[in-house]
Amino acid sequence: MRKIALTGGIASGKSTVTVKLRARGYVVIDADDIVRQLYGKGKPIYNAIVGTFGNEILDPSGEIDRKKLGALVFSDSKARELLNSVTHPIVEAEISKDLQEKRLQGENMIFVDSPLLVETGNCERYDTVVLVYVDPQTQLQRLQSRNQLSHDEAVLRIKSQMSLEEKKAYADYIIDNNGTLEMLDQQVDQLLMWLRQPD
């Protein structure tokens, strides 16, 4: 089974590529979806976050206050590293379990959407690493527009991740997402043609 990692940065267009791959019938395991599933009260990521940051991170209903947590980790690199150190092992274990299930079901090509693939040092777990790239100015504009963030808030979030320029060094294939959705569609088709070529 061929395992293909799909990575990028915040607002680079990974999720859009994931939607396009699924529309073409491919299986995509999404790390962010796993986080959302395990974020609820009493779930593994919830327990890890509350155990690390305490009850101050909770809203009045006892759920994790995502705005409060986001404000903390995007402004404090130590808090961000701590969050990643407690959540990533849980997410990686879940991805491994999902990959094993898909292998047993006979899938021969699986994509894993993993935003922090390079930062967590997991590139070698995959046969191919695909980077969804966008130039810094476009990334900033898309993030501000999508998340209704101020310029400074958006810059802070982008700077919390390794730059897309640095991530290029880890990629086997780069999708340039600076153009239109139609252009992105064409690039997804080109990627799939490239992946189907014999080694």
List the domains of the chain with CATH numbers: 2-196 (3.40.50.300)
pLDDT of residue 70: 87
pLDDT of residue 199: 65
Check whether 74 has a pLDDT greater than 90.
no
Q: What is the CA radius of gyration of the chain?
A: 17
103 pLDDT tier (thresholds 50, 70, 90): very high
- What SS3 state is found at 54? coil
**Is beta strand 173-176 parallel, antiparallel or unpaired with respect to 27-30?**
unpaired
107 pLDDT tier (thresholds 50, 70, 90): very high
Give the model confidence (pLDDT) of 5-64 as tens digits: 999 999 999 999 999 999 999 999 999 999 999 988 999 999 999 999 999 999 999 999
**Is beta strand 109-113 parallel, antiparallel or unpaired with respect to 2-7?**
parallel
Residue count of the chain, please give it: 199
Give the model confidence (pLDDT) of 117-135 as tens digits: 998 899 999 999 999 999 9
Longest alpha-carbon distance in the chain = 56
Note whether 188 and 175 are within 8 A (CB): yes
